[in-house]
């Protein structure tokens, strides 16, 4: 929606300057330009529908292990996490400045621009993935993890040459003296989470915008953190 409004403003400025400088005006161009705000209004209703689906999501009987719905990746709409049918927490994207939301919405890969996530767990804890060195010119590829405002770990994307040649997406999550590695080969591909070169969980989109994480060991003590890292991975790479 923001992209259409930006195009409308840019086009309107261009038409105004053309009229002021050259005295030229074409009604058909104005009519075409007006389609952009009309289209943005239509998209607003579509996005509102998706916001509500994410907010009201509950797992279906066939959903097992850890599941969430991530249809919208830009707004602050609250989303939910489940372990089987048990609600284990919620999360939402946040921005330090209003205009960063607009930038993220306009870009092709919104997850790579000013991404910060706040999680509220069922035990009352809050976990925040806050972008490191976030600035005005680019998004972020590193995050600091806070639990109840205390730093507990870090996350960084893996933009190595090896990943580039394999068209592979990668991310490191350091937590509890352990380094977890997330990797996938692009949109629609399964995500593997490894610890000490051994796969401990896999994630994939099971239907629509519903994502599932299946651990090799359902009793893994850091399962919630692994799931939160998986959600960040999907935001960042648009899985």
**To the nearest 10°, the Cα dihedral for 27, 28, 29, 32?**
130
Picking from 83, 80, 84, 81, the residue whose alpha carbon sits closest to that of residue 62 is 84
Distances, alpha carbon 104 to alpha carbons 23, 40, 131, 194, in Å: 36, 16, 14, 29
Report how far residue 140's alpha carbon sits from residue 127's, in angstroms, rounded to the nearest whole number.
Answer: 18
- Encode pLDDT of 62-88 as tens digits: 888 999 999 888 889 999 999 988 999
Write the pLDDT tens digit of every residue in 78-128: 999 999 889 999 999 999 888 888 888 877 787 888 999 999 999 999 999
Residue with tokens 């809050």: 126
Rounded (10°) angle between helices 2-22 and 98-106 = 90
pLDDT band at 4 (very low <50, low <70, confident <90, very high): very low
pLDDT tens sequence across 191-218: 999 999 899 999 999 988 999 999 988 7
**Long-range contacts for 100-108 (Cβ within 8 Å, ≥24 apart)?**
101/74, 101/75, 101/76, 102/2, 104/74, 104/139, 105/1, 105/2, 105/3, 105/74, 106/2, 106/3, 106/6
Q: Please report, for the chain, the start and end positions of each structural domain, with discontinuous segments joined by +.
A: 1-56, 60-237
């Amino acid at each position: 929606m923001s992209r259409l409004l930006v195009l409308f403003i840019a086009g309107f400025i261009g038409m105004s300057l053309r009229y002021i400088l050259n005295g030229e005006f074409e009604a058909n161009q104005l009519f075409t330009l007006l389609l952009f705000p009309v289209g943005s209004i239509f998209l607003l209703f579509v996005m509102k529908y998706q916001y509500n689906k994410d907010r009201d999501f509950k797992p279906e009987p066939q959903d097992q292990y850890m599941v969430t719905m991530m249809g919208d990746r830009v707004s602050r709409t609250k989303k939910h996490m489940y372990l089987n049918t048990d609600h284990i927490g919620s999360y939402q994207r946040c921005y330090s400045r209003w205009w960063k939301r607009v930038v993220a919405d306009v870009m092709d890969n919104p997850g790579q621009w000013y991404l910060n996530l706040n999680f509220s767990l069922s035990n009352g804890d809050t976990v925040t993935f806050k972008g490191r060195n976030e600035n005005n010119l680019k998004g972020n590829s590193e995050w600091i993890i806070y639990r109840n405002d205390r730093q507990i770990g870090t996350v960084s994307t893996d933009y190595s040459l090896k990943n580039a040649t394999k068209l592979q997406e990668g991310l490191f999550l350091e937590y509890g003296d352990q380094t977890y590695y997330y990797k996938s080969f692009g949109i629609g591909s399964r995500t593997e989470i490894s610890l000490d070169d051994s796969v401990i969980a896999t994630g994939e989109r099971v239907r629509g915008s519903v994502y599932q994480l299946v651990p090799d060991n359902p009793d893994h003590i850091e399962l919630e953190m692994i799931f939160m890292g998986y959600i960040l991975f999907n935001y960042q790479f648009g899985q």
